[in-house]
């Protein structure tokens, strides 16, 4: 008999009932160190007092009014995002996949309003993940996402990850935009080189093609800059944000330049919940904490510490691990062993990590994880690695 919850997830047999900072408490009382952060979502850890206060204060005042009316928390968060980024304007969603929907619509509408309605095609890369909506799966294109869900939304083309030179040849008069994650998350923590991102931005500009960045996973301080593309010094036209921006409250956003957003006039897009007072009150508190030089400096310092310790782990278990890769506190352990074996052994060692494609174990800790917790995390990963190694012998 089908479970009452539609069985679309492969869930680990764990039930967490409470969270405290970087820790999650299982129903049986065990304390797990959480270096998955709900897939890069809980950027300030669990039950962060600042976020709890922002949420409960707002909950006591006003939950929801709809976008038929002004929402001051939404305006405040949009102002913060505009001040801190390339963007001139922001639309709020509830998730990353909804951000993808709008990014695609915005790019097509832009060219339509420019009198070039044939420009509809969007170029993406293999290994990408842009969400589970019809536009999201078509934009990513991978068979695991799309099989059985046809007819797919047309107008997407896919190139080999990192093959920026191929973009030049793939662009046609019908090309509206290129969509890329500066660091692929689901694809296995694969950062695009700064030089390649610069080249890509240059190609887009030269060919009158919009650049859409998907920073749903790598954004909001995760790589040690507020947004990952800042490392390359490039500017997108449109950017998708979600996951970390709500610190655990469902919230996403599309950021855009005034030019790229120019087709999206009143009546062209909307959302009942998107940008509601609760979500935006929390989003403001996240931005006030994360978008500060001191906080980001500390993320970079801790990223160095984590990377150094993970390099040691890889050196100790060269039969299990191939390399450490990633950026900031978005780290991947590329495995020779099965990544799921490492993740599962991690549960036994009371540490939560997240598997990714390309046989990678992802480490996406809360950005405010302490130095001691980083040391403890790597200790627990060593315990997990030792257990997997013992089984192999
Ligand atoms: C998670 C993710 C999405 C989809 O976000 P949802 O909130 O799950 O809809 C899109 N793009 C990237 C890069 C992601 O990591």
Domain residue ranges of the chain, discontinuous segments joined by +: 50-290, 293-366+383-393
List the 23-26 sheet strands across, edge first. Answer: 16-20, 23-26, 31-34, 351-352
Interatomic CA distance for residues 282 and 28, integer angstroms: 30
What is the best residue among 127, 130, 223 to mutate for testing ligand 1's pocket, by most ligand atoms within 8 Å of CB?
A: 130
> How far does the centroid of ligand 1 lie from the alpha carbon of residue 212, in Å?
14
| Arch. (CATH architecture) of 293-366+383-393 | Alpha-Beta Complex (3.90)
Q: Can you name the residues that pair with 352 across neighbouring β-strands?
A: 34
> How far does the centroid of ligand 1 lie from the alpha carbon of residue 389, in Å?
33
Task: Report whether residue 96 contacts ligand 1, using a CB cutoff of 6 Å.
Answer: yes
- 50-290 and 293-366+383-393 agree in CATH topology: no
| Class at the top of the CATH hierarchy for domain 50-290 | alpha beta
Give pLDDT, residue 5: 97
Give pLDDT, residue 392: 78
> How far does the centroid of ligand 1 lie from the alpha carbon of residue 186, in Å?
9
Nearest of 224, 226, 223, 252 to residue 240 by alpha carbon: 252
The answer to whether 28 touches 241, Cβ cutoff 8 Å, is no
Task: Report whether residue 34 contacts ligand 1, using a CB cutoff of 6 Å.
Answer: no
What φ, ψ does residue 161 adopt, rounded to 5°? -55, 130
pTM of the model: 0.98
The answer to whether 307 touches 327, Cβ cutoff 8 Å, is no
> How far does the centroid of ligand 1 lie from the alpha carbon of residue 103, in Å?
13
Interatomic CA distance for residues 14 and 134, integer angstroms: 31
The answer to whether 221 touches 367, Cβ cutoff 8 Å, is yes
Give pLDDT, residue 369: 98
Give pLDDT, residue 57: 98
> How far does the centroid of ligand 1 lie from the alpha carbon of residue 139, in Å?
12
Interatomic CA distance for residues 156 and 154, integer angstroms: 6
Give pLDDT, residue 70: 98
What is the best residue among 36, 243, 271, 274 to mutate for testing ligand 1's pocket, by most ligand atoms within 8 Å of CB?
A: 243
The number of residues making up the chain comes to 393
List CB contacts of 254: < 8 A, sequence separation 6 or more: 90, 91, 93, 99, 102, 103, 106, 238, 239, 240, 241
List CB contacts of 298: < 8 A, sequence separation 6 or more: none
Q: Point out the residues of the chain with pLDDT beneath 70.
A: none
């Amino acid at each position: 008999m089908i479970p009452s919850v539609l069985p679309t997830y492969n869930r680990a047999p764990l039930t967490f009932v409470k969270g405290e900072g970087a820790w999650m408490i299982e129903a049986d009382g065990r304390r797990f160190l959480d270096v998955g952060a709900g897939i890069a979502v809980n950027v300030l850890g669990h039950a962060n007092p600042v976020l709890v206060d922002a949420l409960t204060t707002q909950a006591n005042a006003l939950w929801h009014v709809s976008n038929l009316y002004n929402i001051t928390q939404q305006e405040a968060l949009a102002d913060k995002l505009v001040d801190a980024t390339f963007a001139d304007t922001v639309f709020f969603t509830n998730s990353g996949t909804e951000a993808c929907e709008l990014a695609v619509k915005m790019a097509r509408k832009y060219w339509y309003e420019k009198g070039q309605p044939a420009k509809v095609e969007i170029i993406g890369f293999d290994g990408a993940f842009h969400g589970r909506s019809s536009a999201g799966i078509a934009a990513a294109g991978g068979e695991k996402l799309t099989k059985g869900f046809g007819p797919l939304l047309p107008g997407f083309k896919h190139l080999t990850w990192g093959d920026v030179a191929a973009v030049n040849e793939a662009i046609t008069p019908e090309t509206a935009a290129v969509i890329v994650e500066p660091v692929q998350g689901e694809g296995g923590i694969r950062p695009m080189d700064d030089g390649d991102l610069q080249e890509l931005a240059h190609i887009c500009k030269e060919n009158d093609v919009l650049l859409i960045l998907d920073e749903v996973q790598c954004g909001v301080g995760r790589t040690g800059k507020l947004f990952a593309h800042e490392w390359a010094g490039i500017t997108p036209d449109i950017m998708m944000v979600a996951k970390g921006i709500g610190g655990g409250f469902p919230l996403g956003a599309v950021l855009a330049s005034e030019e790229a957003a120019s087709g999206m006039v009143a009546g062209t897009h909307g959302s009942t919940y998107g940008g509601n007072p609760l979500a935006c009150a929390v989003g403001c508190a996240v931005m006030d904490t994360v978008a500060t030089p001191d906080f980001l400096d500390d993320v970079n310092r801790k990223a160095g510490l984590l990377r150094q310790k993970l390099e040691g782990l890889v050196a100790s278990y060269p039969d299990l691990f191939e390399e450490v890769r990633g950026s900031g506190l978005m780290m991947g352990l590329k495995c020779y062993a099965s990544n799921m074996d490492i993740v599962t052994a991690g549960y036994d060692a009371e540490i939560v990590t997240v598997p990714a494609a390309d046989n990678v174990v992802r480490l996406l800790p809360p950005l405010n994880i302490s130095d001691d917790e980083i040391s403890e995390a790597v200790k627990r990963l060593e315990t997990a690695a030792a257990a997997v190694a013992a089984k192999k012998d």
